[in-house]
């Protein structure tokens, strides 16, 4: 028998809110087949009954830079997804701006093959904007999660691109700044946040609103300002914010490469407004924008060091702090980190619930105040969150019902991971094969 039972206080914020129960997961398929009171009919049984322990669906991160390929010295698909597992994340969507830049069918296939071989989490990839519409059509059938638009793409993208991506049921994820924001040279983070003000993000959203098709799915990522979030939602876009824009502010980061990031950190007032946006249900998801660099690169002078904050191993723990401090509830946390991201990606029939038919990616959390004492698995082990107060940690993490990580034993297995967007390829193949039959 190839079924594993995971028992304890189950919480998905939809149907289960702390009731004791057992998840029954078929490890051949990797999906939940039952939720029952007792661990009956299972070849392996894992019970977590400690106080302050909670079992939830794995978190989803829709914005991750796993680097790899020619930039594997910064991070690679194995180190980045191992760090994600320890952080409580079971599905990551990788960004295309590695080296080489991924915007052709050949490079998409190459990157997805590496992810399939090395990833410890479920995975997919956004494509960069290709040179032609025909190339875009082919790439969208290769198993990608959608199209990523960078500031330099804003003047190239048009209604046709938005419509084609929407026809495939995929998402356009947008860095909301215009290319002009990158032109001024700033010698400190304070100057950068002045040069790269909220107005560049607002202008980007307004430009997109002019070309967004009714059936298009536009997602604004790492919004830093309340007005950006508000305008994006008014236009029907979805929005995420990052942990660093939520927990770090400009007053704590003068001339520190560790927190140099695009878009830049804002002031305390804007930070508080982002919390307000969460409480008003304007924010659809939290996404890390995990952007690792080598320790040497981050040790350069402020003018030369590359922007980016690495946080995939720790950011969910920061969010649990908001729960422990009773700023938000567990339902809200799971909406931001599980159901919201799944909905943005169009995967809410596979991820987001502890229920039959859903992917057996499950995290066991121990909840309570702690401090970040270091990172172990990401190649980018520097962090602006060292000794920060968090709200818990991962005790165990299952992918497809397989125990991948235990807090005491470390990594125990390489799981059978999936690219959930492969089903689009399969659907298209069946359509081509059989669509003309009567």
199 and 207 Cβ atoms separated by less than 8 Å: no
Query: How distant, in Å, are the alpha carbons of 75, 134, 235, 261 from that of 318?
Result: 22, 43, 30, 19
Q: Could you tell me the pLDDT band of residue 214, with boundaries at 50, 70 and 90?
A: confident
Question: Residue 166 and residue 180: Cα distance in Å, rounded?
Answer: 28
Q: What is the mean pLDDT of the chain?
A: 93
> Would you state the pLDDT for residue 431?
47
> Would you state the pLDDT for residue 427?
54
What's the whole-number mean pLDDT along residues 229-249?
97
Which H or E run contains 149?
A: strand 146-149
What's the whole-number mean pLDDT along residues 35-42?
93
Q: 119-166 pLDDT, tens per residue? A: 999 999 999 999 999 999 999 999 999 999 999 999 999 999 999 999
- The secondary structure of 20-31 as a DSSP string is EEEEEEETTTTE
59-351 CATH: 3.20.20.140
Q: Where are the alpha helices (DSSP H) in 179-284?
A: 189-195, 198-211, 226-234, 243-247, 268-279
Higher pLDDT, 235 or 180: 235
* Cα pseudo-dihedral 148, 120, 417, 49, rounded to 10: -120
Q: Could you tell me the pLDDT band of residue 437, with boundaries at 50, 70 and 90?
A: very low
Percent of the chain with pLDDT over 90: 84
> Would you state the pLDDT for residue 426?
60
> Would you state the pLDDT for residue 256?
78
Quickly count: other Cβ atoms within 10 Å of residue 372's Cβ. 18
Q: Could you tell me the pLDDT band of residue 251, with boundaries at 50, 70 and 90?
A: confident
Helix, strand and coil in the chain, % to nearest 5:
35, 25, 45
Pairing of strands 17-26, 3-11: antiparallel
> Would you state the pLDDT for residue 430?
53
Cα–Cα nearest to 221, from 97, 327, 132, 137? 97
Q: Could you tell me the pLDDT band of residue 55, with boundaries at 50, 70 and 90?
A: very high
Burial class of 145 by CB neighbour count within 10 A (0 to 12, 13 to 18, 19+): buried
281-284 long-range contacts (CB < 8 A, ≥24 apart) are 282/229, 282/230, 282/233, 282/239, 283/229, 283/239, 283/240, 283/241, 283/336, 283/340, 284/219, 284/238, 284/239, 284/240, 284/336, 284/340, 284/341, 284/343, 284/344
61 catalytic? Reply is no
Q: Tokens 């999936």 belong to which residue?
A: 418
- The secondary structure of 58-112 as a DSSP string is PEEEEEE---BBTBTTT--HHHHHHHHHHHTEEEEEE-S-SBS---SHHHHHHHH
Model pTM score: 0.95
> Would you state the pLDDT for residue 189?
61
pLDDT of 314 strictly over 70: yes
Which H or E run contains 366?
A: strand 362-371
Residue extents of the structural domains in the chain: 59-351
Higher pLDDT, 187 or 246: 246
For the chain, counts of helices (H) and of strands (E): 14, 17
Locate 227 and state its tokens: 């007005």
Question: Residue 28 and residue 19: Cα distance in Å, rounded?
Answer: 27
Question: Residue 415 and residue 30: Cα distance in Å, rounded?
Answer: 10
> Would you state the pLDDT for residue 302?
84
Beta partners for residue 232, in sequence order: none
User: Active site residue: 289, 349, 373, 406, which one?
Assistant: 289
């Amino acid at each position: 028998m190839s079924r594993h039972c995971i028992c304890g206080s189950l919480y998905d914020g939809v149907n289960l809110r702390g009731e004791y129960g057992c998840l029954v997961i078929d490890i051949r398929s990797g999906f939940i087949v039952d939720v029952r009171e007792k661990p009956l009919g299972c070849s392996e049984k894992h019970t977590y009954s400690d106080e302050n322990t909670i079992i939830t669906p794995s978190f989803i991160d829709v914005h991750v830079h796993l680097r790899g390929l020619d930039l594997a010295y910064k991070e690679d698909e194995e180190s980045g997804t191992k760090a994600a597992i320890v952080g409580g994340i079971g599905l990551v969507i990788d960004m295309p701006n590695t080296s080489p830049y991924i915007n052709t069918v050949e490079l998409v296939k190459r990157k997805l093959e590496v992810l399939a071989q090395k990833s410890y989490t479920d995975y997919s990839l956004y494509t960069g904007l290709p040179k032609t519409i025909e190339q875009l059509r082919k790439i969208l059938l290769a198993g990608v999660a959608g199209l990523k638009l960078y500031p330099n793409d804003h003047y190239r993208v048009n209604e046709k691109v938005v419509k084609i991506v929407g026809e495939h049921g995929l998402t356009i994820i947008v860095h909301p700044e215009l290319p002009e924001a990158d032109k001024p040279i700033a010698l400190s983070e304070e100057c950068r946040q002045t040069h790269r003000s909220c107005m560049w993000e607002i202008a980007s959203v307004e430009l997109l609103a002019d070309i967004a098709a009714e059936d298009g799915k536009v997602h604004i990522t790492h919004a830093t300002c309340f007005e950006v979030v508000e305008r994006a939602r008014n236009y029907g876009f979805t929005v995420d914010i990052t942990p660093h824009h939520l927990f770090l502010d400009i007053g704590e980061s003068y001339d520190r490469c560790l927190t140099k990031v695009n878009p830049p950190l804002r002031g305390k007032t804007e930070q508080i407004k982002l919390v307000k946006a969460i409480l008003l249900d304007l924010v659809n998801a939290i996404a890390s924008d995990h952007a690792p660099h080598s320790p040497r690169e981050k040790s350069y002078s402020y003018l030369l060091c590359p922007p980016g904050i690495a946080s995939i191993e720790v950011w969910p723990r920061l969010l649990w702090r908001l729960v422990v401090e009773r700023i938000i509830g567990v339902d809200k946390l799971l909406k931001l980190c599980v159901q919201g991201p799944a909905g943005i990606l169009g995967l809410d029939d596979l991820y987001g619930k502890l229920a039959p038919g859903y992917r057996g990616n499950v995290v066991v959390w121990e909840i309570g105040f702690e401090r970040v004492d270091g990172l172990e698995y990401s190649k980018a082990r520097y962090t602006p969150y060292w000794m920060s107060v968090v709200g818990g940690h991962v005790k165990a993490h299952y992918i497809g019902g397989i125990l991948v990580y235990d807090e005491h034993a470390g990594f125990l297995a390489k799981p059978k991971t999936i690219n959930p967007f492969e089903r689009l390829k399969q659907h298209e193949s069946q359509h081509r094969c059989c669509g003309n039959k009567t």
